Structure 1
Amino acid sequence: MDLADGEVVVAVQPAAELVEVEAGRHVDLPIPELAVVPVRRTKRARRLPHGIRVADAGTAVITDRRLILRGRENDCE
């Protein structure tokens, strides 16, 4: 992964998902919690609210400047 001069990796989360909300749909998302990466997984899988889908999944790399998702096909910033 190419980083800018002086950019520092802060954390890596190996199992992250990028979600999309259908256009024109209002969705009540869960309130984010303050947590330290990595987040503990529960045994029960959460269902996404109607109108939200997982667009990609992969490894999230958090730097002091950006969040990068190293996805299945592409990298997203």
Structure 2
Amino acid sequence: MLDYRQAARRVRRSVRTIKRWHKAGLKMSTAPDGRRLVEESRLLAWWRDRMTADPVHQLRLRRQDEAVAPQKEITDG
């Protein structure tokens, strides 16, 4: 289980982003001491869904694939 700070560090986002995700529906539980906690697997699934839907992330992946493709052609030829 990860608190806000640990969750933010795990997915390289800000604590504010994790809190926003919680308000948007990310399921979190409350520890006996009052801290909000999220399971790592649930956090990563939420993060993957966000990345899949993010056009900027998709563009980065496309550019990365395009940069690798010419290198493959050079080594094959």
Q: TM-score range by the shorter chain?
A: under 0.3
TM-score, L = length of structure 1: 0.21
Q: Which has the higher contact order (CA 8 A, sep 6+)?
A: 1
Select the structure of larger CA radius of gyration: 2
Higher helix share: 2
TM-score, L = length of structure 2: 0.21
Higher strand share: 1
